[in-house]
């Protein structure tokens, strides 16, 4: 039976590679693959000198050669943080074992023990980390073939161990297992707090270091002694292997690293029967029964009550808001608040700002950055629109609605959600703006006017980006990738998509800026003052009109989209 599963794994990998090569015959995939190759070559492979005269990407290698112990401590701290946050953050489905419908159909009915099926999926999940290790080895530019082999081996063991550990955590965090999770969560929180408190309590000695060498020596001392040293000891053992300078040193470090990796593998495949049932029966139910079957799960509250009559766009807003609440919920935000506050305290202490006014200034600056992030990058992350619903294109086309109505309804949820986030952070920045230091004196009326202007601009900019993302999804439906999609062609497609997005934003903002400039000039000539709120409102109105016109055009494109254009 092991031979059959090995044959299935190898043949699946061969077919996946052949499928990717075959689809390069299509221009859209060829363009994305070419752009991805150029990006990888320009930023990771090219060895030409940079502006400082040193070989490209030699900075990390030189730093690791000069401060190897410091690099070990830093990498060990990052690994410890990932391992601890896997228990503390909301449960993610990326590390779980996902069985495809074909595997459910043929493997679950075969005479194979469930534990062997779990072991089979765990081993298959180890293939992708090897590719990541190879990519990281190329990025770090090993000087010789031997250093490349040693570096790849060490990085591969680190990534494989981390991947196996995350799989084990995900299996034990399946629904119904909550009663047994309090102990590892307490241990993870204590480990994270021990390292953070060690750095915080000794920050004075770190900040008083007179040179880079003194700072590195002090940080290494904190990471190798005391409670923090005990917590980081297994992670330091993992982090030392890629930095081995000779084969003999690598062989001396290999047994401990292999032991940790073996323990991680044992951890991933040694779940009890209830854990295996959670990993296996759930996808089987989705594949055989379907999502329409009622479950005993607790009914979640909806964002708002959907009326029996009204605009069809409201139904899409209601549906996509429920889907978005699984990622952007109040519970998740409450979990993130302590980490954000701890980060702000560390930043405040690092800057020697112990006063309350400076701490509130750090919070205000965080609100400003969070609002900017919601406007600039939120539309790319919040994909609860056509990017997520194109897989149900056949169902959407069966509804008695115009294509423009469907497109407008789909773009509402991410636009409204991100606008609310932006408004919340803008309001926080305004309330704490008295703790910010400006180059010039800004009165409270001016601060309120600027905040209102930014609050008016945010929804327009967010809606334009969401509409452009959905336009790209309709123009190139095969480019709509899953969030965990990987590959050179996928990276190239995202680069091309980003270039088209920036061009579209620039084109959309030109008419709005011209209209706002004309209105502002007229007000300035008539009254002698320039209220920034009025031009911002003009920009918002123009952007909304442009988006309305764009959704009408995209509606026709939606109606002409062929279901066969989507990848299965």
- Give a yes or no: residue 43 inside a domain: no
**Same-domain check for residues 240 and 371:** no
Q: Can you tell me the distance from the alpha carbon of 291 to that of 321, in angstroms, rounded to the nearest whole number? A: 18
Average pLDDT rounded to a whole number, residues 474-479: 75
CB 542 within 8 A of CB 511: yes
**Same-domain check for residues 124 and 190:** yes
**CA 373 to the chain's CA centroid:** 13
Q: Among 91, 108, 483, which residue's Cα sits nearest to residue 285?
A: 108
The string of pLDDT tens digits covering residues 402-415 is: 989 999 999 998 99
Coil/strand/helix, residue 49: strand
- Give a yes or no: residue 483 inside a domain: yes
Compare 441 and 474 and report the one with higher pLDDT.
Answer: 474
Give the confidence band of 226 by pLDDT, cuts at 50, 70, 90.
confident
- Give a yes or no: residue 426 inside a domain: yes
The string of pLDDT tens digits covering residues 275-309 is: 444 445 444 444 433 333 344 445 567 777 888 88
Which of 272, 288, 304 delimits the end of a domain? 288
Give the confidence band of 156 by pLDDT, cuts at 50, 70, 90.
confident
The string of pLDDT tens digits covering residues 478-511 is: 666 555 566 677 778 788 888 888 999 999 999 9
Alpha helices by DSSP H, 289-329: 312-325
**Same-domain check for residues 414 and 447:** yes
User: What per-residue string of b and e applies to 265-301 under the rule 16 or more CB within 10 Å gives b?
Assistant: bebbbebeeebbebbbeebbeebeeeeeeeeeeeeee
560: its two tokens = 């002409």
Give me the domain span that covers residue 232: 59-288
Coil/strand/helix, residue 392: helix
**Same-domain check for residues 238 and 339:** no
**Same-domain check for residues 269 and 320:** no
- Give a yes or no: residue 251 inside a domain: yes
Q: How many CB atoms lie within 10 A of CB 38?
A: 13
The position carrying tokens 């809606």 is 463
**Same-domain check for residues 96 and 210:** yes
**What does the pLDDT read at residue 337?**
60
The position carrying tokens 């000039």 is 521
**Same-domain check for residues 234 and 326:** no
**Same-domain check for residues 264 and 126:** yes
- Give a yes or no: residue 37 inside a domain: no
**CA 243 to the chain's CA centroid:** 28
The string of pLDDT tens digits covering residues 98-115 is: 677 777 777 777 777 777
Residues composing the chain: 568
Give the confidence band of 346 by pLDDT, cuts at 50, 70, 90.
low
Q: Among 470, 481, 394, 562, which residue's Cα sits nearest to residue 20?
A: 481
Would the pLDDT of 274 be above 70?
no
Q: Among 279, 282, 291, 191, which residue's Cα sits nearest to residue 234?
A: 191
Would the pLDDT of 238 be above 90?
no
Q: Among 245, 219, 249, which residue's Cα sits nearest to residue 232?
A: 219
**Same-domain check for residues 112 and 222:** yes
DSSP 113-152: -HHHHHHHHHHHTTHHHHHHHHHHHHHT--SSHHHHHHHH
Which of 253, 273, 288 delimits the end of a domain? 288
Residue % of the chain over a pLDDT of 90: 13
Which of 288, 303, 326 delimits the end of a domain? 288
Would the pLDDT of 516 be above 80?
yes
Average pLDDT rounded to a whole number, residues 522-545: 89
**Same-domain check for residues 396 and 254:** no
Would the pLDDT of 122 be above 80?
no
**Number of domains present in the structure of the chain:** 2
**What does the pLDDT read at residue 407?**
92
**Same-domain check for residues 279 and 344:** no
- Give a yes or no: residue 225 inside a domain: yes
- Give a yes or no: residue 110 inside a domain: yes
Q: Can you tell me the distance from the alpha carbon of 254 to that of 238, in angstroms, rounded to the nearest whole number? A: 9
The string of pLDDT tens digits covering residues 3-52 is: 777 888 788 878 888 887 887 887 777 888 888 888 877 776 665 444 44
**Same-domain check for residues 193 and 124:** yes
- Give a yes or no: residue 293 inside a domain: no
């Amino acid at each position: 039976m092991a031979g059959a599963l090995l044959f299935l794994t190898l043949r699946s990998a061969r077919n996946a590679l052949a499928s990717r090569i075959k689809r390069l015959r299509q221009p859209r995939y060829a363009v994305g693959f070419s752009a991805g190759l150029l990006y990888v070559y320009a930023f990771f492979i090219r060895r030409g000198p940079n502006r400082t005269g040193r070989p490209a990407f030699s900075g990390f290698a030189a730093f690791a050669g000069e401060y190897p112990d410091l690099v070990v401590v830093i990498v060990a701290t990052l690994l410890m943080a990932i391992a601890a946050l896997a228990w503390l953050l909301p449960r993610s489905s990326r590390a779980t074992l996902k069985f495809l419908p074909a595997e459910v159909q043929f493997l679950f009915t075969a005479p194979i023990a469930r534990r062997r099926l779990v072991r089979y999926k765990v081993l298959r999940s180890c293939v992708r980390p090897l590719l990541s290790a190879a990519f990281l080895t190329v990025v770090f530019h090993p000087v010789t073939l031997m250093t490349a082999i040693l570096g790849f081996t060490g990085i591969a063991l680190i990534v494989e161990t981390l991947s196996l550990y995350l799989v084990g955590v995900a299996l034990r965090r399946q629904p119904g297992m909550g009663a047994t999770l309090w102990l590892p969560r307490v241990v993870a929180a204590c480990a994270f707090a021990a390292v953070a408190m060690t750095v915080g309590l000794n920050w004075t000695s770190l900040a008083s270091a007179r040179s880079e060498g003194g700072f590195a020596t002090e940080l290494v001392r904190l990471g190798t002694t005391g409670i923090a040293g005990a917590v980081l000891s297994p992670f330091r053992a993992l982090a030392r292997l890629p930095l081995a300078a000779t084969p003999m040193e690598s062989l001396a470090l290999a047994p401990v690293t292999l032991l940790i990796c073996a323990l991680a593998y044992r951890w991933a495949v040694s779940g009890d029967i209830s854990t295996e049932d959670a990993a296996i029966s759930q996808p089987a139910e989705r594949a055989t029964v379907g999502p329409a079957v009622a479950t005993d799960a607790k009914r979640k509250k909806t964002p708002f009550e959907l009326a029996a009559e009204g605009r069809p766009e409201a139904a899409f807003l209601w549906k996509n808001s429920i889907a978005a609440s699984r990622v952007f919920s109040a519970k998740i935000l409450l979990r993130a608040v302590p980490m954000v506050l701890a980060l702000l305290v560390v930043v405040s202490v690092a800057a020697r700002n112990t006063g309350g006014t400076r701490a509130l200034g750090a919070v205000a600056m965080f609100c400003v950055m969070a609002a900017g992030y919601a406007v600039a990058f939120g539309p790319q992350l919040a994909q609860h629109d056509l990017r997520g619903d194109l897989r149900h294109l056949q169902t959407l086309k069966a509804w008695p609605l115009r294509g423009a109505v469907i497109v407008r309804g789909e773009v509402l949820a991410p636009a409204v959600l991100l606008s609310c986030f932006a408004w919340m952070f803008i309001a926080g920045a305004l309330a704490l703006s008295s703790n910010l230091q400006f180059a010039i004196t800004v009165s409270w009326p001016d601060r309120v006017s600027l905040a209102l202007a930014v609050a008016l601009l945010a929804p327009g900019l967010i809606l334009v980006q969401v509409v452009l993302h959905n336009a790209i999804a309709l123009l190139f439906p095969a480019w709509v990738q899953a969030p965990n999609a990987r590959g050179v062609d996928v990276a190239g497609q995202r680069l091309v998509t980003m270039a088209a997005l920036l061009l579209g934003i620039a084109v959309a903002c030109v008419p709005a800026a011209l209209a706002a400039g004309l209105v502002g000039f007229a007000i300035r000539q008539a009254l002698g003052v320039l209220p920034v709120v009025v031009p911002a409102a003009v920009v918002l109105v123009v952007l909304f009109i442009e988006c309305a016109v764009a959704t009408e055009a995209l509606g026709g494109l939606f109606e002409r989209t062929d279901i066969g254009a989507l990848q299965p």
